[in-house]
Structure 1
Amino acid sequence: MILLTRAVVQPWNCDMMGHMTTRFYVAFFDDAINILLGQATGWAPTMPEWADRGWADVRHEIDFVGEVPSGVIVEIYGTVRSVGRTSIQTDYEMRRLHGGELAAKLAAKTVFFNLAERKSTPLTEPMLERLKSWMAAADTPSHGGGA
């Protein structure tokens, strides 16, 4: 897995018991998903060639493994598990920066989407090439952190 992002868990990310709430786990993972999509496919919403295309998450499965209180710095790692004609399946791990303890895992399926037609669209050849290259790089120990 490749390190995608780091974040500090703030008091407003936490529930009445002082631990990060589900809504912020999803938000932190969503940031990581967007970073992975940009890195692994070359897609960027601000580039004119992508004006009519984007992504739609169609499935998330989260395993909450350890509690994360306010003040903890978390790192989110990710990898591409598989690539289809119009979608990719990705895996993520949220870990505490200090100690490396696993806090949560997310498995996601994300579909490449034609925003004007409101339907899935095939991944482009350059995207597929980048995804293959990115997946190969993610498998090399020198490129990724992940525990």
Structure 2
Amino acid sequence: MTKPSTRIVTYAGLVHPWMCDAMRHLNVRHYVAMFDDASFQLLGRVAGKDPDPDGWADVRMEVDYLQELPAGKLITVRSHVEELGTSSLRYKHWMHGSIDDQLHATMSVVSVRFDLSERRKRPLTADERANALSLV
């Protein structure tokens, strides 16, 4: 796979000691929380607004843990859209050390544009498609 041209910063933070497990590494639940925050940033850019009641439903997440993260590590997540469907997006997050740029984890996600009142997926609008394409 070629390196995408557009990876935007969607999260930056610190691995706090209270986020670590008994082995003193970032606990899995916190990787997911950080990636989830990154998803809100990316999907907000696609929607062109802050999250609203008619939002997104994550239907698939796949995490690759590549290098443990110890307490005190500064991290940055960068993301981009990989594929657009009629009502869905496939996108990827990369979690790197902010200082050393070492890759620690990735997450691939499929999210579907969701209408809460109808309780079903809905097509991406023309603006959402254009916004998503700018992040491919």
TM-score when scaled to structure 2?
0.91
Q: Which amino acid aligns with 1:35?
A: Q
Q: Does 1:39 align with 2:40?
A: no
- Secondary structure, aligned partner of 2:55: strand
User: Which amino acid is the alignment partner of residue 98 of structure 1?
Assistant: I
SS of the equivalent of 2:58 reads strand
Q: Percent identity?
A: 36
Cα shift readout 1:36-60 (whole Å, capped 9, x = no counterpart): 1112331423xxxx54x11111000
Question: For residue 96 of structure 2, what is the aligned residue in structure 1?
Answer: 95
Residue 5 of structure 1 and its aligned partner are, at CA, apart by 1.7
Q: Deviations over 1:103-147 (max 9, x none)?
A: 101000001000112111111111112222333xxxxxxxxxxxx
Residue from 19, 42, 52 that aligns with 2:25? 19
After superposing on structure 2, the runs of 4+ consecutive aligned residues of structure 1 that deviate more than 6 Å are: none
User: Which residue type is aligned with residue 83 of structure 1?
Assistant: L
Counterpart position of 1:115: 116
SS at match of 1:134: coil
Q: Which residue of 1 aligns with 2:14?
A: 8
Question: Which residue is equivalent to 1:81?
Answer: 82
Matches of 1:96 and 1:88, distance apart in 2: 26
Structure 2 gaps, min length 5: 1-6
Structure ranking higher in helix proportion: 1
Unaligned runs of at least 5 residues, structure 1:
136-147
Cα RMSD, aligned residues only: 1.1
TM-score by length of 1: 0.84
